[in-house]
Structure formats: C-alpha cells, structure tokens
Structure 1
Amino acid sequence: MLPIIAVVGPTGTGKSDLAIELALRLNGEVVNADALQFYRGMDIGTAKVPVAERRGVPHHLLDTMDVTQEASVAGFQVQARALFADIRARGRVPVLAGGSGLYVRAALDVLEFPPTDPQVRGRLEAEAAEGGIGPLLERLRGVDPDSAARLGDERRIIRALEVHAITGRPFSSYMPRREYAQPAVQIGLAIDRALLHERLAARVGRMVDAGLLEEVRRLDAAGLRRGRTASRAIGYSQFLDVLDGTATVAQAAERTVVATRQFARRQTTWFTADPRVHWLEATRPDLADAAEAIVRAAAAA
C-alpha cells in the first residue's frame, strides 16, 4: 500500500501542481495543509487552485471556515486524520499539500495536543497579576524542570502549569517527535533563491491584476478584521492598508512581495530541519516522475 504523500516546501515552488499530478498518477485525493486556504473567499491572495484547474482531483479542507473564525492546529489534526481514513477506505491515496509546517506535522506525526481549561488558566493569570511570574516559575521548576529551563515568557509558563494542573503530566512530555503516526513520505520542492524571488514577485503582480484589492474589500465587509488569523495573512493585511488610505496599491504590492519572501525563508528553514524530507529541484523537467519514484520506493521499503 502506498504511504500518505506530503508535498511540502516554501511558497511559490509548485506544490499544488505536483500534488494534483501525483494524485492523478496514484489514484489520490488532495488534502489541503495551507492554513489560509481554509478560509472561504481568500482565493486570489492565497493562490488557491481554482476548481477548473484541479483536473478532476477531489480536494479537501478548502473553504471550510469564515474569515472571522480562528484556525486550530488541533482541530485540523482531527479533520485531516479522519479524511486520511476515509480516503483509504475508498481505496485511494491521501496527498497532503501545503506549506504550513506545524499543520503538516500535526497531520503526519505523533503529536499530542494538551488540553486547556479556561478556569485553571484564569486562576494562574490572576496569581501572576498579583504576585508576578517569579513564584509561578518556581512552582514550574518543581513539577516540570525541563519546561522551566526552556520557557521564558509569562504566557508559556502559565500554559505549562495549566497543562500540569489538568493532566498531572509535565508540559514537556507533549513535545513532538519526528515519528510518523502512520506510513508517510514527504517530498520537498527546492528552488534557487533568486529564481524563487522572481517567481514570488511575479505571482504578487498576477494577484493584483486578478483583483486582490477587490477580494480584500469584499472580505473586509464580511468581517476580515475580526479574524485574528485571516486579518494578518500576507497580502490581506497589506491591502487593508490600501483600503484605509495608508498605502498605495504599489506600496502594498511591494510590502507583500517582501513579506512573502520572508515567509518562504521561514518555510525553508522549517522543512529543511526535517531529515525525512526527500528534496527535489522544483524546476526539473522530470519532477513528477522523480516524485512518483520516491513514493513507490517508500512503499517498497
């Protein structure tokens, strides 16, 4: 049986196209792992593949949320794994595609999310407000020295104590491991940095020409600014400035290009840190053949 396939890497490298091609070759269905493509109406600015260009391949976890809602990694993990099981039950192969690194790990890896309790957290926050973070940090040293040594800010110290109070387990015991929850193979798309920068600038230009400003205007009317995740999305936050009169379209486009390049660099750092990723040059002419060979070799191993 073929493993779960994940196509990963920085934005602008062609992950969506390769995922569709692999799905066509291997009887697969695509599961989205780009957190911003969950949002209905965020189409142009997230480079969401239009239905007409999906080549008949079923796509999942696109357009599942309103822009006012908050994306949840833990919730995504549940949804993605349920979809993997459903796709498998129909005799098909899940193809995960996206550059949101933590979401990819949540779907693929042994990764447990600790519970929350607003009442417990509220009590701890009240203690911190009254007596400072020092006593709480000292308490954390007693029950979870690893987290106490690693965490420095108030919010995370409170979170670690909250988890221990609820579960009796140290927060550090929830740290992720690079271990697949079920057989999987990750294919990473690499590209020369200068070429990627050219691609990203050209893509932002196409987004502007396709009506990104009008998309942002429509979403603003639908409550974009109330969405903590959606309102901060690259492209959308910059073009909200245009609506507010604090930037021109040209300025917003240039700021979007810069932010996208920075994001691509962070994505590259994230995925290259995982030794399990099989990297391929995104521009090679036999890309799909090479990726298919990696998947079949993983299945035979």
Structure 2
Amino acid sequence: MSGVLTPPLIVLNGPTASGKTALAVRVAQLLGERGRAAEIVNADSMLVYRGMDIGTAKPTATERAGITHHLVDIMDVDQTASVATFQQLARTAIADCRARGVVPILVGGSALYVHAILDDFEFPGTDPAVRQRLEDELAVFGAEEMHRRLAELSPDAAADILPGNGRRIVRALEVIELTGSWRATLPEWRYALDGVWQWGLELPRDVLDERIEQRVQQMWADGLLAEVRALVERGLRQGRTASRALGYRQVLAYLDGEISEEEAKRQTVAGTRRFARKQLGWFRRDPRINWLAADAPGLAEAIVADV
C-alpha cells in the first residue's frame, strides 16, 4: 500500500453481471486484513432506491459481509436520482472516507456516473419553470413528438437520445433553451479527484450473455413480480427514473397487460445485454482503466498489491 497521507480511491468498473460487487467486498476485506479500513461507494443509479432489491441485484446484508456501503437505499422510488445529484453525494462520501483514513472503493454501474464522479464534469443549470413547461408538453404530445422537436434544434443531441426517453429529451430541450446549444461530447478524461486507481472487469461475450440470462431467471424466481407490485403501491409509476429501470419497466408493461410474462423476461434479458455492451463501450473509451479478466483467480489480491 502506498505511503501517501490521503487514502487512494479504488474504482472497479465493468458491465452488469461481471462480478464487481463481490470483488469490491473482497478487496475491502483484504485491505482490512492488512490494517487499512475500506468502505464501498455505490455508483449504480438504481441501487439508491429503497425496495428495489431483486431487480437491481442489490447486495444483501450477507453479501455485504459487514462492509459499509454508501449511497444504497437513500431514496424512495418516486424521487429522481440525477447525475448531478449523484456526483455531489458520491464525492461527499469519498471525501468523508478519506477524512477518516478509510480507503473508498467506488463500484461503477453507470459509466456516465463514474465519469461524472471522478472527472472535471460540470452540468448546465436548470430552470424549474422551463422544465415544468417542457414536462407538461411531454405529457400532452408524447416522447416521440418531443424527440422530433429536438432533432430540428440539435440533430446531434437527438441522435444520442432514444426517442422514447422522455426524461432525457426534456433535459436536452431545457439545456438548449437556456444555453442556446447542446454539447453532445463529454468532457476530457481529467480527474477532479486525486489518487485514483481504476480497474475494469471483462468477460467473453457469450459468458456475459449467459450470466445475464441466469440473473434474470433468478430475479423472477426470487419474486421480482411481487416486488414490483409492492413498489407500485409506493409510487413506482410516478418515479421518472425508477420506473424506467431494466426489469421494472418490463414487469410494469406485463402488469398493464401490454406484454406476456415470457415477453417481459425476454425483453429484460435483451435489454440488459444491450446495456452491458453499452457500458463496456463507454468504459473502453477511458484509457486510464487497467483491464482484468473477470473470471481470473486472485483478482482482489492483485488489485490490493498494485495500489
């Protein structure tokens, strides 16, 4: 372990189902055995929601093995977890760990969230009145019509946002109205935090696809349908972020009679596989990440030895 005064920030990246959660816990345990306390900082935007456990593969108390996890179960499902809010919360948690001499381990779900937490990443301002007007128009005209409007104003922004993603469409239109333009490219890879050590987990595509298939089947076996029904009573449908989560969106469509249960499973598997490829593509753009085979033995030992 380095002798610097400020504890290092360990970052574990990789697509869903690559084993990041278990690896983070093992790294924290090894550090503890070596006399350095460590805590985990979540960077998965869906683990923040109370009650969204099965569909997010949220680590159980047993799986956390007594290691403190930050930014898990901090919001209700009808609240919105924006990237800007998450950036602030995560940086505060990391600073708190370091101030106590604890090694923070950031576990990445979304590459965008990790990028926003680690790097010089500023967000355009917001105007509640403009946002409300655009959201009202979204409710009246629908996401596809709003997407067509966005395409007229900024083809680059429209190309980067799916036509059905009303929340992101509204945000893009708001930024354009307030600033006159939309910056489609992300900031450079330039750390805003010091002492960052990043690793990434990779798996052959067929292995990852099979893991995702098994995970989705297990979610259904563990009671995902019952979990979603309970969350509907707690405002899931009103949550602009939570209701769009993979698995939850498909189960809601099934409960509404729009698709069959088997189709909900199929769409969840297919959507998760697409998301995993997108995650991996994002992480691959970052030249600072040291890549490791996710199924190789001794990963945690290798990471601790390198820091």
**TM-score normalised according to structure 1 size:** 0.82
Question: Contact 2:30/2:301 (CA < 8 Å) preserved in 1?
Answer: no
Residues 1:178 and 2:189 are matched in the alignment: yes
Can you list the C-alpha shifts for 1:233-269, whole angstroms capped at 9, x where unaligned?
Answer: 1101111122223333322112111111011010011
CA contact (8 A) 1:112 1:174 kept: no
1:161–1:244 Cα change, 3 Å? closer
Match of 2:283 in 1: 271
Alignment counterpart, residue 90 of structure 2, candidates 80, 97, 103: 80
SS of the residue aligned with 1:29?
strand
- Which residue in 2 is equivalent to 1:236? 248
**1:194-244 alpha-carbon deviations (Å, 9 max, x no partner):** 001111101111111100110011011111111111111110111112222
Match of 1:31 in 2: 41
2-side partners of 1:157 and 1:150: how far apart? Answer: 12
2:219 aligned residue? 207
| Aligned residue in 1 for 2:237 | 225
Q: Deviations over 1:4-35 (max 9, x none)?
A: 11111100000111111111222210011000
Residue pairs, 1:109-148, within 5 angstroms? 109-119=119-129
* CA RMSD across the alignment: 2.8
Q: Which residue of the partner structure matches residue 159 of structure 1?
A: 175
Structure 2: which amino acid aligns with 1:8?
N
Residue-by-residue CA offset, 1:60-101 (whole Å, 9 max, x unaligned): 100111111111111111111111111111110110112211
Structure 1: gaps spanning 5 or more residues: 126-132, 138-147, 165-169, 297-301
Q: Tell me the amino acid that sits aligned with residue 176 of structure 1.
A: P
Q: Percent identity?
A: 50
Alpha-carbon contact 2:199-2:289 (below 8 Å) kept: yes
* Residues 1:69 and 2:79 are matched in the alignment: yes
Distance 1:120 1:40 in 2: 30
Q: How far apart, CA to CA, are the structure 2 residues paired with 1:269 and 1:173?
A: 17
Name the residue aligned to 1:129. Answer: none
CA separation of 1:152 and 1:246: change in aligned 2, threshold 3 A: closer
Higher fraction of helix: 1
Per the alignment, residue 8 of structure 1 pairs with 13
Structure 2: runs of 5 or more not aligned: 32-36, 136-148, 160-168
Q: How many residues in Structure 1 have an aligned counterpart in Structure 2?
A: 272
Q: CA distance change for structure 1 residues 121 and 226 in 2, over 3 Å: closer, same or farther?
A: closer
Paired AA for residue 178 in structure 1: W
TM-score, length basis structure 2: 0.80
Residue 59 of structure 1: aligned partner: 69
Residue in 2 aligned with 1:128?
none
**Other structure's SS at 2:197 match:** strand
Cα separation, partners in 2 of 1:157 and 1:234, compared to 1, 3 Å = closer
Contact (CA 8 Å) 2:22, 2:63: kept in 1 or not? Answer: no
Offset from partner CA, 1:159-189 (integer Å, 9 cap, x none): 245137xxxxx87599522111122111110
Q: What SS does the aligned partner of 2:125 have?
A: coil
- Within the candidate set 210, 221, 228, 1:216 is matched to 228
- Could you say if the C-alpha distance between residues 172 and 233 of structure 1 is closer, same or farther in structure 2, counting changes exceeding 3 Å? closer
Q: What corresponds to 1:142 in structure 2?
A: none
Partner deviation per Cα, 1:22-53 (whole Å, 9 max, x = no partner): 11222210011000111110000000000122
Q: Does the 8 Å contact 1:39/1:63 carry over to 2?
A: yes
Contact kept? 1:121, 1:159, Cα under 8 Å: no
